[in-house]
Amino acid sequence: MVTLSQLAQLKRETRELDKVFLKSVLGQPPTPLAFAEEAAVCAFLVLSHGAVEEFVEAAFKDYVQKCFTLNSRQLLNRASHLIMIQFAADAAVALEQTRSSVPRDDAVIRMVPALYERKICGTNNGVRTHNIKKLVTGAGLVWDKFENDCSEAIAALDALGARRGDIAHSSAANRAATGGVSKALYPKEARELVNTALAELSAIVSFLASPKH
């Protein structure tokens, strides 16, 4: 299960990315960054975003796995039943294509975590609010409750995801061509986006660890 100690490791990894990519960037607004500096700042944000996205997806995958660690007649909670409703048909089709001595109910249940990983996490791409909602509802959780308990985490991730999408499609040349519609990314903003998201991830870890779903 994803834990706070793993979150601490993620924070250490992003600090290393900071050292690698941002240490040598000296440009400050409004002075335009050199091409190499801009590339370094963008690399830091994109790689940090990717690490955060993987962490969030892993947390939800582990939660779904936890929901199905007991016998099929002892499912842990309400979320387990909602996940089953979503993936039972796919699991049943997969089961028809295999020959197993495992009781049918148990065999279907064993397939569900892998189906969640493939159909939900495998098609997810980002940490914007709609991405997080997909992970939450796919895991059988109530979005309104998650949104209430983890509102600051959702906002921080959405801001990080939005900026990643912006800089991924806007080079200095593109900004010049569009009259500077996309704002240049400087180290201070990149650090703040990443660090704010990291600081709020503990709320998601705690939410998923709670038995009250």
Q: Exposure of 211 by Cβ count < 10 A (0-12 exposed, 13-18 middle, 19+ buried)?
A: exposed
Cβ atoms of 112 and 91 within 8 Å: the answer is yes
Q: Which domain holds residue 42?
A: 4-70+125-209
- Does any domain span residue 144? yes
What's the angle, vertex CA 92, arms to CA 82 and CA 137, rounded to 5?
25
Measure Cα distances from 115 to 31, 106, 119, 156 in Å.
Answer: 49, 15, 6, 28
Cβ atoms of 184 and 35 within 8 Å: the answer is no
Total domains, the chain: 1
In angstroms, the CA 172 to CA 7 distance is: 34
Chain-centre distance of CA 40, in angstroms? 23
In angstroms, the CA 45 to CA 194 distance is: 7
Chain-centre distance of CA 80, in angstroms? 21
In angstroms, the CA 79 to CA 96 distance is: 25
- Does any domain span residue 83? no
Tokens of 76: 């842990």
Q: What are the pLDDT tens digits along the chain (213 aa)?
A: 789 999 999 999 999 999 999 999 998 999 999 999 999 999 999 999 999 999 999 999 999 988 877 544 555 555 676 776 677 666 655 555 555 544 445 666 778 888 899 999 999 999 999 999 999 999 989 999 999 999 999 999 999 999 999 987 765 555 555 444 458 899 999 999 999 999 999 999 999 998 666
Closest by alpha carbon to 49, among 142, 162, 174, 129? 162
Residue type, 20: V
Within 10 angstroms of residue 44's Cβ, the number of other Cβ atoms is 23
- Does any domain span residue 86? no
- Does any domain span residue 135? yes
Tokens of 12: 């250490």
- Does any domain span residue 81? no
Closest by alpha carbon to 172, among 38, 69, 6? 38
- Does any domain span residue 25? yes
- Does any domain span residue 35? yes
- Does any domain span residue 9? yes
